[in-house]
Amino acid sequence: MPEYRAHLQVRLRTGVLDPAGQAVGHALGDLGFAARDVAVGKLLELTLEAASLEAADAEVRRMAAELLVNPVLEDYDLEIVPR
Protein backbone atom coordinates (compact mmCIF):
# COMPACT_ATOMS: atom_id res chain seq x y z
CA MET A 1 0.00 0.00 0.00
CA PRO A 2 1.18 3.52 -0.68
CA GLU A 3 2.57 5.62 2.14
CA TYR A 4 1.36 9.06 3.08
CA ARG A 5 2.71 11.75 5.38
CA ALA A 6 0.07 13.64 7.35
CA HIS A 7 0.58 17.12 8.80
CA LEU A 8 -2.01 18.25 11.34
CA GLN A 9 -1.94 21.87 12.39
CA VAL A 10 -3.79 22.04 15.67
CA ARG A 11 -4.94 25.42 16.94
CA LEU A 12 -7.28 26.71 19.60
CA ARG A 13 -10.80 27.34 18.39
CA THR A 14 -11.81 30.93 17.77
CA GLY A 15 -12.92 32.51 21.02
CA VAL A 16 -10.95 30.16 23.26
CA LEU A 17 -8.59 32.05 25.53
CA ASP A 18 -4.95 31.54 24.46
CA PRO A 19 -2.75 32.53 27.43
CA ALA A 20 0.39 31.23 25.71
CA GLY A 21 -0.34 33.27 22.57
CA GLN A 22 -0.97 36.37 24.69
CA ALA A 23 2.31 35.89 26.59
CA VAL A 24 4.28 35.47 23.36
CA GLY A 25 2.52 38.55 21.93
CA HIS A 26 3.54 40.58 24.99
CA ALA A 27 7.15 39.39 24.67
CA LEU A 28 7.20 40.38 20.98
CA GLY A 29 5.88 43.78 22.00
CA ASP A 30 8.67 44.10 24.59
CA LEU A 31 11.16 43.47 21.78
CA GLY A 32 9.64 46.29 19.76
CA PHE A 33 7.69 44.17 17.26
CA ALA A 34 4.12 45.10 16.36
CA ALA A 35 2.63 41.62 15.95
CA ARG A 36 -1.07 41.17 16.72
CA ASP A 37 -3.32 38.17 17.38
CA VAL A 38 -0.43 35.85 18.23
CA ALA A 39 -1.62 32.26 18.56
CA VAL A 40 0.29 29.21 19.79
CA GLY A 41 -0.74 25.84 18.40
CA LYS A 42 1.00 22.60 17.59
CA LEU A 43 2.07 20.61 14.58
CA LEU A 44 1.65 16.83 14.52
CA GLU A 45 3.18 14.76 11.73
CA LEU A 46 2.83 11.06 11.06
CA THR A 47 3.32 8.48 8.32
CA LEU A 48 0.70 5.87 7.50
CA GLU A 49 -0.12 3.33 4.81
CA ALA A 50 -3.49 3.55 3.11
CA ALA A 51 -5.19 2.39 -0.07
CA SER A 52 -5.68 5.93 -1.32
CA LEU A 53 -5.31 9.57 -0.37
CA GLU A 54 -9.00 9.61 0.59
CA ALA A 55 -8.58 6.55 2.83
CA ALA A 56 -5.51 8.10 4.48
CA ASP A 57 -7.43 11.32 5.05
CA ALA A 58 -10.34 9.47 6.67
CA GLU A 59 -7.99 7.43 8.89
CA VAL A 60 -6.12 10.50 10.17
CA ARG A 61 -9.42 12.26 10.86
CA ARG A 62 -10.41 9.27 13.00
CA MET A 63 -7.11 9.56 14.86
CA ALA A 64 -7.82 13.24 15.39
CA ALA A 65 -11.30 12.55 16.75
CA GLU A 66 -10.17 9.77 19.10
CA LEU A 67 -6.95 11.22 20.46
CA LEU A 68 -4.97 13.87 18.64
CA VAL A 69 -7.36 16.83 18.92
CA ASN A 70 -9.60 17.89 21.79
CA PRO A 71 -12.72 19.13 19.98
CA VAL A 72 -13.84 21.10 23.04
CA LEU A 73 -10.95 23.53 22.62
CA GLU A 74 -9.14 22.75 19.39
CA ASP A 75 -9.56 22.82 15.65
CA TYR A 76 -7.19 21.52 12.99
CA ASP A 77 -6.13 21.69 9.38
CA LEU A 78 -4.96 18.47 7.75
CA GLU A 79 -2.57 18.17 4.85
CA ILE A 80 -1.66 14.74 3.47
CA VAL A 81 1.02 14.13 0.87
CA PRO A 82 2.13 10.87 -0.81
CA ARG A 83 5.66 9.78 0.12
Total binding residues toward another protein, as defined by CB under 8 A: 11
Cα gap 58→48, rounded to integer Å? 12
| SS3 state of residue 15 | coil
Site for another protein in 17-46 (CB under 8 A): 17, 19-20, 23
Q: Which is nearer to another protein, 10 or 56 (CB)?
A: 10
Residues 6+ apart with CB under 8 A from 43: 7, 8, 9, 10
Q: Which is nearer to another protein, 37 or 66 (CB)?
A: 66
Q: Give the footprint of another protein on this chain (CB under 8 A).
A: 16-17, 19-20, 23, 66-68, 70, 72-73
